Amino acid sequence: MNKAVELLRGDITLAVVNGDRRATFVDRGIKALLSVLSGDDILKGADVADKVVGKAAALLFVKGGVKRIYAEVCSKPARDVLVKYGVELEYKTLTGGIVNRAGDGPCPMEYAVLETDDPDEAAKILSAKLEAMNK
């Protein structure tokens, strides 16, 4: 886990370490995570360090088979999902929920998956939400 946490510096928002494989991302939100899920198996059994883990990211991490996660900020709904699926979790700050970038409401991605704990369903919901937001 320490190797992933060490990579989480500066502009890096997500770091993945799986054996000798390493990947870092600078995208905010779940965009990078969705792209990794669609094209690579690096998450399966990986250690991940992320700046912000809400329920949306937690469900995608579960879908990808992540083993351990460190989050600088983690929401309670995310923690509950990760505990439910047996993913080891460490966090610096636990919060009731993730707020949107404007700071005036809930994160639209976390809000979109509040009613599900199913990783496959969440991936479909989040892909559609991201596509709609990009239009």
Task: Name the CATH superfamily, with its identifier, for domain 2-134.
Answer: Hypothetical protein TM1506 (3.40.140.30)
| Nearest of 33, 97, 91 to residue 65 by alpha carbon | 33
Q: Which tens digits make up the pLDDT trace of 53-99?
A: 999 999 999 999 999 999 999 999 999 999 999 999 999 999 999 99
| Nearest of 6, 38, 37, 13 to residue 27 by alpha carbon | 13
In the chain, domain spans: 2-134
Q: Which tens digits make up the pLDDT trace of 3-56?
A: 999 999 999 999 999 999 999 999 888 888 988 888 778 999 999 999 999 999
